[in-house]
Chain A
Amino acid sequence: MSERPPLRAGLRDAFLSALVALGLFGPIVGLVTEPGERGLILVPHFGTVAALVAAVFVGRLLILSWRVVRPAGTPTPRALAEWLTRAGRYVAPVLLVVAFLLPLSGERYYLDLGILVMTYVMLGWGLNIVVGLAGLLDLGYVAFYAVGAYSYAIISTTFGLGFWTCLPIAGALAALWGILLGFPVLRLRGDYLAIVTLAFGEIIRIVINNWVSLTNGPNGISGIPRPTFFGLTFDMSGGPGTFSGFFGLEPTPTHRVAFLYYVILGLALLTNWVTLRIRRQPLGRAWEALREDEIACRSLGINITTTKLTAFAMGAMFGGFAGAFFATRQAFVSPESFTFIESAIVLAIVVLGGLGSQLGVALAALVLIGLPEQFRELQEYRMLIFGIALVVIMVLRPRGLVSGRMPTATLGKGEPHEIDADLVAEGRG
């Protein structure tokens, strides 16, 4: 505690904030346009405006007084994240054990939630290769997710092939699209790359929406086959060709859901494993070098073209796998599932996690996907809260949850020391 809070200045500041809030919320919240007898009419909601303005006034006062009275020992977000980084060693195995044991709970709700979160973890890990490691800002990642999903949906419904046959095909097609996109944008960087990938993602969605003969347009494709367990289906009949019949179990839909959960868990762990392995190889190091400084990278004789294209292809391939899984899990795909907002959510997971950090991405997916699911009742406010949370998190912790990073190579014999995020240019890959 230093001196007394300058009460007068604080009140003035809060009053001005409330005034701004009145201007912002007054018309948009206070005067709702509703269809009337002749055209639109305005329905006043001044009570809500008053509540919002009061909330801003009180909130601003609280923030200001918190700044004055904050005791020195309170953990700031930074200290918290440092603790998280140190604890990461133990957090990761615990998360893994929990993830493996989750189906034992037998609760359908937790399994569905687990599948959803794991899908985003996998997408996050896939995008992490492109954004986190290679530093190529991709705002159209959902395009590859869509390519994977539609590849599986179309191939399986047309040729009658199963999930496990189509999975590599879907991945390969997505990787091909990754390279096709990668070629023209090799020269672009930063924000320009972001906006071009965004445009690419939108083009794919519009084409899917309009190419009715191939994709059935906005109606989507239904009746996509479910995956099988070594040829055993998850039929409810309990016959000899089914999972329950073969193992002599009571047929229950939980088997199928639990199986799907383990499939996505396996796919996600595969993504993680491949990423971790590649990071120790020349290719992975070239990616990270590219992210930190493209010119230096080029001067040292690294082939920028192959480095970028492999990153795009690899990221796209895992996106395609996730897409194929999404299609088989839903048994239905439509263009609605592949809007820009999905790309934004996955990118938010990667950045919030701390670019390049595998554990961070998993935690961020849990926070951004798992938590909002708990607030299902708040339906229409869910995306509003998501947007506000994104801004608040970026302002408080622009470097993500798990900052700090182990160098992949060190000089001499000494133990590698962790490097703080603020000391490196782009991320901590």
Chain B
Amino acid sequence: MAYALQQLINGVTLGMIYGLIAVGYTMVYGIIGMINFAHGDIFMVGAFLSLIALTGLAGFGITAVPLALALTLIFAAALAALYGWTVERVAYRPLRGSFRLAPLISAIGMSITLQNFVQVAQGARVKPMEPLLPGGIQIMKADDFAVQLSWMQIAIVITTLVVLSIFTWLVTRTSLGRSMRACEQDLKMAGLLGIDTDRTISLTFVTGAALAAVAGLLFLLYYGVIDFFIGFIAGVKAFTAAVLGGIGSLPGAVLGGLAIGLIETFWSAYFSVAYKDVAAFSILIIVLIFMPTGILGRADVEKV
């Protein structure tokens, strides 16, 4: 029981990170109907930007944790947003309206480019970081097993909730959010009604990249070690989360992220750590085959 509770805590923490990445996938898929293959790598870039910022801040002697975290979050989100904007501008916008494989190949090319760019620039070795917030609180103790809720996990959950609240406000209350939702429903019609669709799509990439960067920061804090390859697996899992929640649905993406995080954690705890990625990938396959609209998605009507 205690063991399961511990896994539940770990799973929710991991799920929050996946959910943040999944939002970026689901927004882009909702609006322009493409899998932004480079999104996982934007997440990786965000993690590296966070690492650089935290190292730099420590070098300047700024060690107050809340201040350091807030500065890092703003720095990483802003620059990752710039990456998202550039990727869309350079690799996807020229291909809008082209045949459907073109943007996907371009996205794969961008993913390879970002991965190798970071490898060349920052080195191929893994980057370990000392834990920023050691310790935690013990919730309960049973059968010699102590259930730990670390400060880090609390920080991750709070950060995610705050960021997602801001994001929800952005989508539901602002004119930008209204444009985004309009473009998601019908891109052409939105354009006819005077919405600058190019700008809206750009800003969608910017928002998604900023959220991915937050996920990168949280990933760095949680695991304490990153390398240039983390984006691929995390990206596929987050995409799975987006599909599981129903692609195009923002609450669905977060829900799917939580589900994937929990499944992965419980699978590793009770079955096999070596096959944990197989679990996530199998869920992707099963969901797509039996429930292609996901939990909160709409059925896609095919027109001839």
Contact = CB atoms under 8 A, between A and B. Distances in A.
Interface of A: 20, 23-25, 27-29, 31-34, 39-42, 131, 137, 184-185, 187-188, 190-192, 194-196, 198-200, 202-203, 206-207, 209-210, 295, 340-341, 344, 347-348, 351, 355, 380-381, 383-384, 386-391, 394-395, 398-399, 425-427
A387 B302 CA distance: 34
Interface in B35-90: 35, 45, 48-49, 51-53, 55-56, 58-59, 79, 82-83, 86, 90
Contact of A383 (B79, B116, B122): B116
A323 B52 CA distance: 42
B192 interface: no
B29 to A, nearest CB: 8
Interface stretch (B179-187, B259-267, B272-280): B272-280
B277 A206 contact: yes
A27 B115 CA distance: 16
B49 A28 contact: yes
Interface stretch (B155-163, B249-257, B283-291): B283-291
A390 B285 contact: no
B282 A28 contact: no
B100 to A, nearest CB: 6
B277 A341 contact: no
B147 interface: no
A187 B289 contact: yes
Nearest to B48: A28
Contacts of A34: 123
A20 B94 CA distance: 18
Interface of B: 29, 33-35, 45, 48-49, 51-53, 55-56, 58-59, 79, 82-83, 86, 90-91, 94-95, 98-106, 108-124, 127-130, 232, 236, 239-240, 243, 274-275, 277-278, 281-282, 284-285, 288-289, 292, 302, 304
A300 B283 CA distance: 35
B277 A348 contact: no
30 contacts: A28-B52, A29-B121, A32-B122, A33-B122, A34-B123, A40-B129, A42-B56, A184-B289, A192-B288, A194-B35, A194-B104, A195-B236, A196-B288, A196-B289, A202-B236, A206-B277, A210-B274, A295-B302, A344-B112, A383-B115, A383-B116, A384-B116, A386-B116, A387-B111, A387-B114, A390-B112, A394-B103, A395-B90, A395-B91, A395-B94
B117 A28 contact: yes
Given A192-B292, A199-B284, A395 B129 contact: no
B288 A32 contact: no
B101 A137 contact: yes
A351 B116 CA distance: 22
A387 B113 contact: yes
Nearest to B82: A23
Report which residue of B33, B86, B236, B288 has the largest number of chain A beta carbons within 10 angstroms of its beta carbon: B288
A164 to B, nearest CB: 34
Contacts of A184: 285, 289
B79 A384 contact: no
Contacts of A29: 121
Given A41-B55, A384-B113, A398-B95, A27 B83 contact: no
B55 A395 contact: no
Contact of A344 (B108, B236, B289): B108
Contacts of B95: 394-395, 398
Given A33-B55, A383-B115, A390-B108, 6 more contacts: A28-B118, A28-B122, A206-B278, A351-B102, A380-B116, A387-B115
